Amino acid sequence: MNATVTMERPQRWDAPFDDTVSDADVEMLLKRPEFAVIEQNKFPKSIPLEGVLRNDCRLVKLAPGDIVIREGDYGSSAFLVLKGKLRVIVKGEIPSELLGRTSTQRHGWFHQLSRLWRTPSLPEVRDTAVYEQRRSSGAEVVHDSLVSTPEGQALFDGQIEEGSGVMPNLGADFQTVDLGGGAIFGEIAALGRVPRTATVYAHSHATLLEIRWQGLSVLRKYDAGWRRIIDEGYRQNQLKVQIKESPLLSHLSESVIQELADRTLFESYGSFEWNVAYKSRDGAGGDQLEPVIAREGDYTDGLLIISGGFARVSKRVGNGERTLSYLRDGDHFGLDELYGAWKRRGRAPLDTTLTALGYVNLLRIPANALEELVFPTLEPPATHFADLLDRPLSGDSLLEWAVEKRYINGTQTMLIDLEKCVRCDDCVRACASTHNGNPRFIRHGESEGKAMVAHACMHCVDPVCMIGCPTGAIHRSPGSGAVVINDVACIGCGTCAASCPYDNIQLVEIRDRAGRQVLDPVSQTPIKKATKCDLCFDQPGGPACERACPHDALKRIDFQHEQLFAIS
Amino acid sequence: MAEQPTRTGLIQRHASAIGWGLGAIVVLGCIALPSRHFADTLREPELITGYSLFGLCLLLAALNGRKRLSVLPLIKTSFWKTMHWVAGLVAAAAYWLHVETWWPTGLYEQALAALFYLVTLTGIVGFTWQQILPRRLTQSGVEVIFEQIPNEIVTIREQAEDTVLACTKELGSDTLARFYVETFQWFFRRPRFILSHARGGQRAAFWIAQQLATVRRYLSEKEIAYLEQLQELAEAKARLDLHYAAQGLLKVWLLVHVPLAAAMLVLAAWHMLLVNVYSL
Amino acid sequence: MAERFTPSPTAAYQRPTLPFRCGRSGTWERPCWQGPDVGGRCGGTHECAPVRRGDRWECRRPAAAGGSCAQGPLPDGTCPHLRPACVPLPSLRKLRGRLTLLVCTLLIALLGAFVNFGGSSGGALAIDPGPLSNVHASFTSSAGCTSCHIEHDLDGLAWVASAFTSHDQPGQCLECHAFEGEDRAPHNTHYTGRQDLPDVGCAACHTEHKGNDFDTARVAQAACTNCHRADVRSFNESHPPFPKHFPHQKPGRINFDHAKHFGTYFDPNSKYAKQESRDAEFAGRARAACTACHAIDEAQREIAPRSFEETCAKCHAHQVRQRPLIVFVPEEASPVTAFVLALDEDIDDDELEEKLAQFLRTVEENGVDGLAAGVLRTHGNARPATLLEGLSASLIKAAAAAWQTEDAEFESPETNETDPGGWHAGEDDEGNQSLRYIARRHNDPVLRGWIAFLRKAYSDGDDAARERAQATLEFLLSDDEGAGACGKCHRAGLMQSRERLASVRDWRSGGDPIRPLTRFVHAPHISLLGPDASCRACHQIDPSADYAAYFEDPTDVEQYQSNFRAIDKGACERCHAPGQVSMACQLCHQYHRKPQFNPKFRALRQAGTLSGDEGLARHSGKT
């Protein structure tokens, strides 16, 4: 127990994004206009621009037809086009088998079975030899090519000419936009922690600078120019995509959509890093934490479409606000009132209040634009928020609680039915057996009635834990979308654990294979690693906890699909 | 938008129970009918019922194995658990088909019968506790992990002692302190009224209320404020005791059921050997 | 729920897989944050392990346990927060594992301790499946389990290996038990045309080790309906009908026409009523009640009639003395003579005369011995002492001498009027000369002897001898001429079973038990229904039956028509019906044919021991 061993404490750039960025490359980049205008003295000494370029970027060379990013994938990098031309597919869908989505390699059955005898008896044992090698972090992204199969080639109008270095156009079903030198793309997914909004492929031979989001956020933070580019681009691309994908508006023609987009306003409420304020107030409500977007009784001047984050729809009941529902990406607010007002040629006040939970990005489509372009061809809305008032008050207590605690963020919230749970800890044992004897959640948490949300990573729609990770150790697994921590890359800084609003990440002190505690030689403090539920992403069969509960008390709930009533 | 799930028909809602019931009947039929056929043809029906019973017992024991194999995506443990108690009932029926008497002759066979009865009984008791006790735990209003209870009790005890000491120090009267030493010190020492909590009784709350009522008449207004703090701590301790009792039952019954089941399997294997040596 | 105190949110992972917990939790002190090591030893007495940085020692208590303490380590680097070492307690899971191991080990040890092999007395506790029935326990006490279980004598691996071989358990039972017929066949009978029937083991119906008072012979009803399932489920519903002519399919051995006797001979108004020899009082009684002739006191399946003297003699006694057995007629080949002298049927007169003369000469010379010798020559098994009992030598010599003369007349000496029986030579009532014997009484030994002698000669001789014997028997047993009137009643019984030695049984009433698996006891039926009235409840005279037809040729059994109507199932069903008297199969049927014991068993019993070695030696070769 008292035996210890030392190991150099890992640092931020111990594992650079790519080993191949050379000094010459950094010089070349610094000469480019995008970087030349940056005032390098604005950057802190610990994270110089040069360091960002060397350690948080890599150069990517593409052949014609190579896919850079796929729509729907999670990604953690943005791209700057250095040379060549790329195309963004804005309309049309490429079949997923041609896109070649990555999938996570899952361990085989024998490997799993061998855990029974390979599991160490001490907690948090690591193979420290691996750490010494300092391998790079994150999953490796392989660039597939669209034209590697005959089916892929058939998507294009005509054959690729040998030696021309340029792809033919895609078929008539598709619409594309070109990206040339200096263009930046992919920042929405990188910074917004949302899936890629479009597929991008190389139209000609191209060279890109891939900037992982740790570097991008540094650039955005310390340079105004980059901040403007990123924020504006974010707004522009999000806006149009959002309108196109809204079921209300997708039936409209391209020109109408364009006109709508031109008249639509983009608004943000609340703080992007809402978790900080949330944690400090210990879960209590308040206006600062939940800014009001639209108030019941007021007249509204536009349809609100949520484009990021969560918003609460509530109505005054007695002395409090009763939560009717919560809205997420793609949902709209105010349609009933606006449509009714247009029909009756009058004005109608809002039935309900809309508040931002943490932060919300939304689009406001002005009422006159709606009346001109949308309402004439719109089917009258069938459901109304007010209908939800018919539910008894007691039936909503779970919803209220879940919204207040922000559990609605979760796609894999661990919900335990306390009236079925016999406290046998089989779930914890199962989690431990799949993680080398170390459980990755705590069978304890807030409860409301018979529902308890345990301290297990919820794999949020908006994983705020990823904000601030210096190495990218905490990332989304490209194949499964689960938020996982790469143990080798983690430097134990504790940012993610501090960020998580639900305290679902635990820092643990590690031991080596001989059972000795691993200490930092300088400070003699134990080396820690961040750990959390990884949804058993690399194991066959998915989360072991749910499988292991003998009483069906434990469920992983996806609040995006409103499985709240799974236990009520 | 959150919506209530739609109501389904009677059969759909109970589809699982109906399925298990049918399955149990089918399995029992697969034992009873061939054994009846054996009896009809002057062969030994005990062969069928006996081996089936042993097979069922092995299947029942396999639940233990399944629980250790959560690393593999085998069928959900909840399925296995339901299969376990349904198979237990089928095994009880198969036992009756096999033995056909309440109490056999011969010491080792009596021991086997006794073990079977005990295992079945403890299983039923455990199953019942698993239905009843979680509700009681949830209704206590707090949730605590069993292994943390000693820690929590120490914390409460320290807080109680601090409260009493503060009262004595600030008000100069040791009435509360003396009373504490006579009564609540015992109470805060370790979990108390465990049997009452296990049965769902109210003895703890009653005792606390009685003690407090007893001493209240000797305390001043300011002391009563401290008494009320003590009351809150005592009530919190009572909730912890409830968890200790109920969670303890939920864990300890297996310390009876599993060893007895293992012993039963050993003796059943011995029985199988004997029957094959001496009469088959 | 707002409370002043809530359980603290758990700050670190709980590890239920660790086998030990801090011993302080067992005494309700605060458990230490380190916990025991995996070997089960205390995790440490110090709160932390201080670390030196530069010239200062720093506390290294983790945040989950409270973080660095306020005091910090002592100047010499030791942690000031001490606690006594604990004795780590096993977790509940570990405790469960230990308990399981303990219980199983204890059980195996107990089994090992109480297992005893090798034929010792009393059941070993770990093996004994229950007490033996008293009947078996008493004689197996010395040999113990090996009396019936030869495997018990094996030891070690051989004993275990015997679990995988099958045993001939019926063979063990048959060491002592035996049956008439085939031991292992169903009903101990080999049914021709039913090769498909498998052997039936004893354990199919019988069981043991069910307690001292258990009746091993008792078998559940279900055992019968297992095989006879298709035929019989309950008596009134599906028991097959009784056979045609049941229970009189086979003719009796004595020609007694019940119908004629009840209808005519016992009738006080018939022509027979006035005969002197007829006992009118007895006839009246007999007519009224079957019990006049049949002794119901010993009523089993058969209710035998009383003896001749008690019944038939009341009217027929005189007939026995009426017809003599004519042994020799001078100058004639009388049947008996022809047989004794082995005369051919178509012998010519000269030869006959010569043979007769020769015979007479021998007899004159040797007297009875001569006659005896002649008899013996025909068949070595004859018993002249019986056949010629009472024959005086002087009489036979005188008669032989007289018959050699021309007129062949012999004057018989004075006969005793009161006792006309015995040997006579000379002129009979019809004026013919003969050597004859008159029976003194029923069951006369001389007549019986002659008939038996002839029957034996018939069964043992060659074709020619058989023919002669048959002819002679026919003569002796003829209805109207037979000596002693034996044949009048006994002809059928004696002529039926030609192939067998003459046995006493053939003279007696009744027939062979043709239903070895069925039993019927009259006594309870008679006691229920009352004597006299109860007979006619089932046995009813059939006036239309031609009873006498069969007795013309007793070999043709098919011709037999009983005086009585067949008893059908309905007669029984009046009482043996659901809700009334038992319908159990075993009430009227039995499975085994004549259960008995092996001679070997009796010998062993007498010796006082039943050794298991013998059984082992006998079966060691079997698998």
Q: Would A129 be classed as within a structural domain?
A: no
Q: Would A132 be classed as within a structural domain?
A: no
**pLDDT value for C511:** 65
Mean pLDDT of chain C: 81
Q: Would B170 be classed as within a structural domain?
A: yes
**CA A319 – CA A324 distance, rounded (Å):** 16
A429 in contact with C at a CB cutoff of 8 Å? yes
Same-domain check for residues C368 and C479: yes
> Shortest Cα distance from A293 to chain C (angstroms)?
31
Element containing residue A178 per DSSP (H, E) = strand A175-179
Among C13, C55, C61, most A C-beta atoms within 10 A, so best to mutate, is C13
User: Which residue type does A259 have?
Assistant: E
Among C1, C3, C6, C17, most A C-beta atoms within 10 A, so best to mutate, is C17
Least confident of C118-127, C220-229, C462-471: C118-127
Name the residue facing C15 among A123, A524, A525 (closest C-beta).
A123
Between the CA of residue C512 and those of A239, C444, C555, what are the distances in Å? 115, 24, 15
Name the residue facing C34 among A1, A121, A440 (closest C-beta).
A1
- Domain end (from C460, C487, C507): C507
User: Which residue type does A318 have?
Assistant: G
Specify the number of domains making up chain A: 3
- Nearest to A143, CA basis, from A56, A58, A87, A62: A62
Look up tokens 């006992």; give the residue.
C279
**CA C267 – CA C283 distance, rounded (Å):** 8
Same-domain check for residues A200 and A274: no
Taking contacts as CB-CB distances below 8 angstroms, the residues of chain C near A500 are none
A112 in contact with B at a CB cutoff of 8 Å? yes
The CATH number of residue A521's host domain is: 3.30.70.20
pLDDT digits (tens, 9 = 90+) for C352-370: 888 888 888 888 888 788 7
Q: Percentages helix, strand, coil for chain B, rounded to the nearest 5?
A: 80, 0, 20
Same-domain check for residues B50 and B117: yes
- Answer positive or negative: Cα dihedral of C500, C504, C508, C512: negative
pLDDT digits (tens, 9 = 90+) for C161-184: 988 988 888 888 888 899 988 888
Q: Find out whether C502 and C386 touch, Cβ atoms under 8 Å.
A: no
Same-domain check for residues C325 and C444: yes
Rounded to an integer, the average pLDDT of C593-607 is 79
Contact B4 A565 (CB under 8 A): yes
Same-domain check for residues C362 and C469: yes
- Pair type for strands A175-179 and A184-185: unpaired
CA dihedral A102, A104, A110, A114 (to 10 degrees): 160
Query: Using CB atoms, which chains have 3+ pairs under 8 A with A?
Result: B, C
Q: Would C169 be classed as within a structural domain?
A: yes
Name the residue facing C130 among B105, B141, B229 (closest C-beta).
B105
Same-domain check for residues B94 and B165: no
Name, in order, each residue with C-beta under 8 angstroms of A382's C-beta and a sequence gap of 6 or more: none
| Residue-number span of the structural domain to which C613 is assigned | 119-219+593-623
Same-domain check for residues A169 and A273: no
A421 in contact with B at a CB cutoff of 8 Å? yes
In this predicted complex, what is the ipTM? 0.92
Same-domain check for residues C333 and C214: no
**pLDDT value for C416:** 66
Between the CA of residue B133 and those of A289, A426, B123, B202, B245, what are the distances in Å? 39, 17, 15, 15, 10
Contact A452 B143 (CB under 8 A): yes
**CA C374 – CA C453 distance, rounded (Å):** 13
**CA C348 – CA C370 distance, rounded (Å):** 24
**pLDDT value for C611:** 44
**CA A543 – CA A433 distance, rounded (Å):** 12
Same-domain check for residues B208 and B228: yes
**CA C285 – CA C291 distance, rounded (Å):** 9
pLDDT digits (tens, 9 = 90+) for A14-26: 777 777 788 888 8
Q: Find out whether C522 and C289 touch, Cβ atoms under 8 Å.
A: no
* A203 against C343, higher pLDDT: A203
Between the CA of residue C107 and those of A235, C123, C163, C520, what are the distances in Å? 76, 18, 21, 54
Same-domain check for residues B237 and B189: yes
A447 in contact with C at a CB cutoff of 8 Å? no
**CA C302 – CA C305 distance, rounded (Å):** 9
**CA C178 – CA C174 distance, rounded (Å):** 6
Contact C205 B42 (CB under 8 A): yes
Q: Find out whether C42 and C49 touch, Cβ atoms under 8 Å.
A: no
B143 in contact with C at a CB cutoff of 8 Å? yes
The CATH number of residue A276's host domain is: 2.60.120.10
A282 in contact with C at a CB cutoff of 8 Å? no
Taking contacts as CB-CB distances below 8 angstroms, the residues of chain A near B133 are 422
> Shortest Cα distance from C239 to chain A (angstroms)?
56
User: Which residue type does A277 have?
Assistant: A
Contact A2 C49 (CB under 8 A): yes
A395 in contact with B at a CB cutoff of 8 Å? yes
Same-domain check for residues C480 and C623: no
Q: Both tokens of residue C535?
A: 């007979």
Same-domain check for residues B150 and B243: yes
- Nearest to B237, CA basis, from C5, C616, A542, A37: C5
- Nearest to A543, CA basis, from A533, A552, A530: A533
Same-domain check for residues B153 and B241: yes
Q: Would A404 be classed as within a structural domain?
A: no
Q: Would B17 be classed as within a structural domain?
A: no
Q: Would C355 be classed as within a structural domain?
A: yes
Between the CA of residue C201 and those of A340, C169, C181, C187, C210, what are the distances in Å? 92, 8, 15, 11, 19
Between the CA of residue B97 and those of B27, B267, C94, C413, what are the distances in Å? 13, 19, 36, 90
Same-domain check for residues A320 and A421: no
> Shortest Cα distance from C55 to chain A (angstroms)?
13
Residue A226 Cα to chain centre, angstroms: 21
Q: Would B88 be classed as within a structural domain?
A: yes
**CA C367 – CA A114 distance, rounded (Å):** 115
Nearest chain B residue to C214, by CA: B105
- Nearest to C177, CA basis, from C154, C150, C147, C156: C147
Q: Would B6 be classed as within a structural domain?
A: no
Same-domain check for residues A291 and A155: no
Query: Using CB atoms, which chains have 3+ pairs under 8 A with B?
Result: A, C
Q: Would B136 be classed as within a structural domain?
A: no
Same-domain check for residues A223 and A312: no
**pLDDT value for A138:** 46
Q: Would C541 be classed as within a structural domain?
A: no
Q: Would C68 be classed as within a structural domain?
A: no
Count of beta carbons in the 10 Å neighbourhood of residue C267: 15
Residue C196 is given by DSSP the state T
- Any idea how long chain A is? 568
Q: Both tokens of residue B164?
A: 């009493």
Rounded to an integer, the average pLDDT of C255-267 is 89
B16 in contact with A at a CB cutoff of 8 Å? no
Taking contacts as CB-CB distances below 8 angstroms, the residues of chain C near B255 are 92, 95-96, 99
Nearest chain B residue to C125, by CA: B107
Bridge-partner residues for C82, per DSSP?
C46
Same-domain check for residues B51 and B151: no
Q: Find out whether A452 and A420 touch, Cβ atoms under 8 Å.
A: no
**CA A523 – CA A506 distance, rounded (Å):** 21
* Interface list for A 526-565 with C (CB within 8 A): 526
Look up tokens 């079921």; give the residue.
A247
B67 in contact with A at a CB cutoff of 8 Å? yes
Contact C203 B279 (CB under 8 A): yes
A449 in contact with C at a CB cutoff of 8 Å? no
B125 in contact with C at a CB cutoff of 8 Å? no
**CA A559 – CA B195 distance, rounded (Å):** 41
3-state class of C133 per DSSP?
A: coil
Name the residue facing B108 among C29, C125, C205 (closest C-beta).
C125
Same-domain check for residues C364 and C498: yes
pLDDT digits (tens, 9 = 90+) for C199-251: 888 888 888 888 889 888 888 777 787 777 655 667 888 788 888 888 888 88
User: Which residue type does C594 have?
Assistant: K
Same-domain check for residues A186 and A315: no
| Residue-number span of the structural domain to which B113 is assigned | 23-131+257-278
HSE-up (13 A, CA, CB side) for residue C134: 4
Among A422, A564, A568, most B C-beta atoms within 10 A, so best to mutate, is A422
Same-domain check for residues C598 and C500: no
Among B20, B60, B68, B72, most A C-beta atoms within 10 A, so best to mutate, is B72
Same-domain check for residues B30 and B118: yes
Count of beta carbons in the 10 Å neighbourhood of residue C433: 23
Q: Would B53 be classed as within a structural domain?
A: yes
Q: Would A222 be classed as within a structural domain?
A: yes
- Domain end (from C476, C507, C538): C507
**CA C156 – CA C138 distance, rounded (Å):** 29
Among C17, C33, C86, C96, most B C-beta atoms within 10 A, so best to mutate, is C96
Among C3, C10, C15, most A C-beta atoms within 10 A, so best to mutate, is C15
Q: Find out whether B263 and B101 touch, Cβ atoms under 8 Å.
A: no
With b meaning 16 or more CB within 10 Å and e meaning fewer, what string describes C294-328?
bebeebeebbebeebeebbbbbbeebbbebbbbbb
Rounded to an integer, the average pLDDT of C69-80 is 87
- Answer positive or negative: Cα dihedral of C279, C284, C287, C288: negative
Same-domain check for residues A387 and A414: no
Least confident of C131-145, C232-246, C609-623: C609-623
> Shortest Cα distance from B64 to chain A (angstroms)?
11
Of the pLDDT bands very low, low, confident and very high (cuts 50, 70, 90), residue C415 is low
A2 in contact with C at a CB cutoff of 8 Å? yes
Specify the number of domains making up chain B: 2
- Domain end (from C507, C540, C560): C507
Contact B1 A421 (CB under 8 A): no
Q: Would B18 be classed as within a structural domain?
A: no
Same-domain check for residues C348 and C488: yes
Contact C128 B107 (CB under 8 A): yes
- Nearest to C526, CA basis, from C295, C249, C305, C307: C295
Same-domain check for residues A52 and A176: yes
* A544 against C72, higher pLDDT: A544
280 residues of chain B, pLDDT tens digit each = 444 555 678 888 889 999 999 999 999 999 999 998 888 777 888 999 999 999 999 999 999 999 999 999 989 999 999 999 999 999 999 999 999 899 998 888 999 999 999 999 999 999 999 999 999 999 998 999 999 999 999 999 999 999 999 999 999 988 999 999 999 999 999 999 999 999 999 999 999 999 999 999 999 999 999 999 999 999 999 999 999 999 999 999 999 999 999 999 999 999 999 999 888 7
**CA A447 – CA A432 distance, rounded (Å):** 24
Averages of pLDDT over each 10 residues, chain A, 568 residues? 73 76 86 86 87 88 87 83 89 74 80 91 88 56 71 76 76 83 84 80 90 85 86 74 80 83 82 71 59 90 87 88 85 88 85 88 88 85 75 80 88 94 96 95 92 94 85 83 90 91 92 87 86 94 94 90 54
Q: Both tokens of residue B31?
A: 């034992």
**pLDDT value for A246:** 83
Same-domain check for residues C340 and C468: yes
Name, in order, each residue with C-beta under 8 angstroms of B76's C-beta and a sequence gap of 6 or more: A546, A547, A552
Q: Would C235 be classed as within a structural domain?
A: no
| Residue-number span of the structural domain to which A472 is assigned | 410-566
Specify the number of domains making up chain C: 2
B244 in contact with A at a CB cutoff of 8 Å? no
Nearest chain C residue to A455, by CA: C10
Element containing residue A314 per DSSP (H, E) = strand A302-317
φ, ψ for residue B49, nearest 5 deg:
-65, -35
Residue B119 Cα to chain centre, angstroms: 13
Query: Using CB atoms, which chains have 3+ pairs under 8 A with C?
Result: A, B
Q: Would C425 be classed as within a structural domain?
A: yes
B240 in contact with C at a CB cutoff of 8 Å? yes
Angle at A49 (CA atoms; ends A45, A50), nearest 5 degrees? 100
Contact C7 B141 (CB under 8 A): no
Residue A208 Cα to chain centre, angstroms: 23
